[in-house]
Amino acid sequence: MSKNWFDEACIYHSYPLGMLGVKDIDRSTEVVPVNRIGELNGWIPYLKELGIDTLFLGPIFESEYHGYDTVDFHKIDGRLGSWEDMVAVSGMYASSGIRLILDGVFNHVGKQFFAFQDVLEKRESSVYKDWFFIDFSSPTEYEPFTYQCWEGHPELVELNLKNPEIKEYLFGAVRRWLHDFHISGIRLDVAYHLDPDFMRELRVVCHEIDEDLILLGEVIHGDYHSFLADDMLDSVTNYECYKGLYSSHNDQNCYEIAYALKRQFAKGGVYEGSHLYNFVDNHDVNRVASLLKDPRYLYTLYILLMTMPGVPSLYYGSEQGLEGMRSEFSDEPLRPRLRLGFSKDRDLLEHIRRLREIRSETSSLVYGDYREIALNNTYMGFSRRCGEEETLVLINISDDPIHIQVTDLIGEGFYVDRLNQDERIYIENAVTYIELRPHWGRVLTLVN
């Protein structure tokens, strides 16, 4: 796949309905839009300092509750503000040099979506009946017919994305998003369930306006190759490595994440050369600070996230160790209100900021190949090489200092440790042992 701006990105993932504190507002009492989304403008200096160049916004369009139950693709959720408010926000971000990715929820809609309401009223005579999967011969306890819903959730009505009329409705909305908000990408919710032809047609629609726009798909299981194609998606969510990143720490078993990285990205790996969307938590899974058995693991975890092949994404607040565990009944602990100026773990924030700085200055960490150079239960190391530049990444997740041996490098010479005050280490091809502090690592780049 060809290079694009996304390959070098560092993404900040926000869930606006939670972050801006609007989820619990009673819709029946708030009719006039309130400009809460404008608060995002105040975050620009914070994001710039962190090295963020792309903001991924969770759902912002009119919905019944959580944003993934859209009722109007041509209207900003009134709890967040108006269309004009979002135009102003997107303009501020464009001026600051931070790109925007919007959440595209095209698989299903909320029951208040105008077309579904028309079907409820007119049934077989509705001109919108073929926008959905409906069996009029089978009424239910609550509705005059049976309809297909997403994963058994009756409030999420699935769309028939083979129907040309609903496709044109959605494509029209997307064209307006691109024109008014100047977005650089769309994240496709439940891409694993979307019609492949719909995604291909969406790509054509988007590239007619902006050939650099990227499509990112939410894919949880299976072979990513069926989505990663020049005529479909640019990237998908890397859930395989998500699991390995935290559980390898908790189990003191670096073999797990090393296996996943080697399988995916080493020479001959299944996704060699691909830039998958990497993350350690998001709006659907427990905060990683709550999952890890030892908070010190956060430091080596983020070293891996920011140096492994792919595109790193930070979920809002987690860059300072924000905690949150979902319950049987609610995801709200994962999606809290977060006010500008919050301060929890500034040391972790500075650590991630430094890692981002290193990544932005080191092409081998973006475009380099992947080779395993050291591995044990409590430590691992890999090399990223691009042209004549080679960078070594080493981590130690144990409580004790260790010395590990590295081999099979480009050549011997001085390596500068970008993570540790630019310390210079001479590495020989024969036998070189490198010291690692407990719960820490090194990012070493060969000095030509």
Residue 61 to residue 57: CA distance in whole angstroms: 11
Residue 182's alpha-carbon distances to 167, 185, 207, 211, in angstroms, are: 21, 9, 13, 13
Domain coordinates of the chain in residue numbers? 5-107+164-366, 108-160, 367-446
User: Domain 367-446, what architecture?
Assistant: Sandwich (2.60)
Q: What is the pLDDT of residue 101?
A: 98
Tokens 């200055």, residue? Answer: 361
Does the pLDDT value for residue 39 go beyond 90?
yes
User: Domain 5-107+164-366, what architecture?
Assistant: Alpha-Beta Barrel (3.20)
**Nearest C-alpha neighbor of 191 from the set 236, 242, 133, 131:** 236
Does the pLDDT value for residue 92 go beyond 60?
yes
Count CB atoms within 10 A of the CB of residue 275.
23
**Nearest C-alpha neighbor of 362 from the set 431, 408, 416, 414:** 416
Does the pLDDT value for residue 208 go beyond 50?
yes
- The number of residues making up the chain comes to 448
Residue 58 to residue 202: CA distance in whole angstroms: 19
Q: Which of 16-25, 264-273, 345-354 has the lowest mean pLDDT?
A: 16-25
Average pLDDT over residues 81-88: 98
Does the pLDDT value for residue 425 go beyond 60?
yes
DSSP structural state of residue 414: E
Q: Which of 125-139, 365-379, 399-413 has the lowest mean pLDDT?
A: 399-413
Does the pLDDT value for residue 304 go beyond 80?
yes
Q: Determine the 3-state secondary structure of 195 from DSSP.
A: coil
Q: Give 25's pLDDT tier (boundaries 50, 70, 90).
A: low
Q: What is the pLDDT of residue 1?
A: 44
Note the pLDDT tens digit of each residue in 243-264: 999 999 999 999 999 999 999 9
Count CB atoms within 10 A of the CB of residue 347.
11
What residues contact residue 373 under an 8 Å CB cut-off, 6+ apart? 381, 382, 383, 392, 406, 407, 408, 409
Count CB atoms within 10 A of the CB of residue 408.
9
Residue 435 to residue 426: CA distance in whole angstroms: 12
**Nearest C-alpha neighbor of 396 from the set 427, 370, 434:** 434
Q: What is the pLDDT of residue 30?
A: 59
Note the pLDDT tens digit of each residue in 104-124: 999 999 999 999 999 999 999
CATH class name, domain 108-160? alpha beta
Which amino acid, residue 204?
A: V
Average pLDDT over residues 81-86: 98
Tell which wins on pLDDT, 140 or 400: 400
Tokens 């005529």, residue? Answer: 231
> pTM of the prediction?
0.96
Structure tokens at 139: 């009424």
DSSP structural state of residue 297: H
**Per-residue DSSP letters for 43-106?**
GHHHHHHHT--EEEE---EEESSSSSSEEEEEEE-TTT--HHHHHHHHHHHHHHT-EEEEEE--
Greatest C-alpha distance within the chain: 79
Cβ burial of 431 (10 Å; 0-12, 13-18, 19+) is exposed
Structure tokens at 340: 């500008």
